[in-house]
Amino acid sequence: MARAEAIIDLAAIDSNVRSLLSRTKAIGLAVVKADAYGHGLVPVARCALSAGAKWLGTALLEEAVALRQAGVAAPTIAWLTPPSDDFEQALRSQIDLAIPSLDHLAAVLAAAERSGVTPRLHLEVDTGMSRGGALSQWRALCEQAAELARAGKIEVIGIWSHLARADEPEHEFNAFQLSEFESAVELARSVGLTPKIIHLGNSAAALTKPNFHFDMIRLGISMYGLSPDPQRVGQSDELGLKPAMSLRARLHLVKEVPANSQVGYGGTARTERATKLGVVAMGYADGIPRSANNLAGVLVGNKRAPIIGRVSMDQFVVDLGNDSVARAGDWVHLIGPSGSDGYTADSWARACGTINYEIVTRIGPRVPRTYLD
Q: What is the pTM of this model?
A: 0.96
How far apart are alpha carbons 191 and 216 in whole angstroms? 23
pLDDT of residue 181 exceeding 90, the answer is yes
Q: For the chain, give the longest Cα–Cα distance.
A: 79
Mean pLDDT of 328-356: 94
> Average pLDDT for residues 149-160, to the nearest whole number?
98
Q: How confident is the model at residue 328 (pLDDT cuts 50, 70, 90)?
A: very high
**CA–CA separation, 78 and 293 (whole Å):** 36
Close Cβ partners of 297 (under 8 Å, ≥ 6 residues apart):
304, 305, 306, 307, 318, 319, 334, 343
Average pLDDT, integer, range 209-217: 98
Q: What is the pLDDT of residue 1?
A: 72
How does DSSP classify residue 169?
A: T
| Secondary structure (3-state) at 373 | coil
HSE-CB of 211 using CA atoms within 13 angstroms: 8
- Phi first, then psi: give them for residue 268, nearest 5 degrees: -75, -15
* pLDDT tops 80 at residue 98: yes
| Amino acid symbol at 295 | L
pLDDT of residue 207: 97
- Measured on CA atoms in the order 23, 356, 315, 321, is the torsion positive or negative? negative
Reported confidence tier of residue 340, pLDDT bands at 50, 70, 90: confident
Percentage of the chain lying above the pLDDT 70 cut: 100
What residues are labeled active site? 33, 265
pLDDT in tens, 10-39: 999 999 999 999 999 999 999 999 999 999
Least Cα distance to 112 among 128, 89, 80 occurs for 89
Residue 285 C-alpha from the chain's centroid: 19
For range 360-364, the mean pLDDT: 97
191 band by pLDDT with thresholds 50, 70 and 90: very high
Confidence of residue 337 (pLDDT cuts 50, 70, 90): confident
d(CA 224, CA 10): 9
DSSP symbol at 338: T
> Which residue ranges form the domains of the chain, and what is each CATH number?
10-239 (3.20.20.10), 245-372 (2.40.37.10)
Contact 357, 348 (CB under 8 A): no
pLDDT for position 339 = 76
Does residue 111 carry a pLDDT above 80? Answer: yes
Q: How many CA atoms lie within 13 A of 192 on its CB side?
A: 12
Reported as a single tens digit per residue, the pLDDT across 117-131 is 999 999 999 999 999
pLDDT confidence of residue 373? 84
Tens digit of pLDDT for each residue in 44-89?
999 999 999 999 999 999 999 999 999 999 999 999 999 999 999 9
Specify the DSSP element, H or E, that contains 46: helix 41-51
3-class SS of residue 140? helix
pLDDT by residue (tens digit) across 228-275? 999 999 999 999 999 999 999 999 999 999 999 999 999 999 999 999
How far apart are alpha carbons 311 and 99 in whole angstroms? 41
d(CA 247, CA 257): 27
